[in-house]
Structure 1
Amino acid sequence: MKVFLLTLSLGGILAAVLFGTLTHWDPSYMSIHGWIALFLGTFLSLAVGGGLMALVFYSARKGYDDRIEVETPDPD
């Protein structure tokens, strides 16, 4: 699994560098407002994802995800 993730991440980096090289992409074209928006969007997305995963683990460990058995009274 580690080899797969390493290969996938290195392949993504290589694809990004190759794309930038072939299209003569220059990151200085993005204004400061674009960089701020990119940073905030990335940070907030990771924060929301991390928070939701923390809630999932908290819920599972505290037993909130267990089945509830309803006791019905006997008809006698």
Structure 2
Amino acid sequence: MQSLSLGRIALIVALAALLILTGGWAMAVWNAPSDVVMDKHGWIALGLGTFFSLLVGCGLMALMFFSSRSGHDDAADPFRKRHEPKDRVDCL
């Protein structure tokens, strides 16, 4: 295992601080007192928005994995080393 450089340690500390600050802000906003009541149309919109966001995200991830496995991404990365079988015989 390599030892962490000073730059990587600073990056990890900065990201951890951002995570803690974001979590604290989210808890403060979530627990903020408000007199706003969401009716059934708001809950329906929230549910449909969540469902379709997850559907689009899962669909795009599936397309990414299928594209990667089928070899369609090989042309987009010309610098990647190709792993060819060692027992392959080139025919003329």
RMSD: 2.4
Q: Which has the higher contact order (CA 8 A, sep 6+)?
A: 1
Q: Matched residue of 1:35: which SS?
A: helix
- Identical positions, percent: 48
CA distance in 1, matches of 2:48, 2:23: 22
Counterpart of 1:60 in structure 2 is 68
Q: Any unmatched runs of 5+ in structure 1?
A: 68-76
The alignment covers a number of residue pairs equal to: 60
CA distance in 1, matches of 2:39, 2:22: 25
Please give the per-residue CA displacement for 1:1-21, whole angstroms capped at 9, x wherever unaligned.
8xx68x83x654542332333
CA distance in 1, matches of 2:53, 2:66: 20
Q: Any unmatched runs of 5+ in structure 2?
A: 1-11, 76-92
| Higher fraction of helix | 1
Runs of 4 or more, structure 1, over 3 Å off, are 10-14
Normalising by structure 1, we get a TM-score of 0.59
Counterpart of 2:39 in structure 1 is 31
From 44, 54, 64, the equivalent of 2:52 is: 44
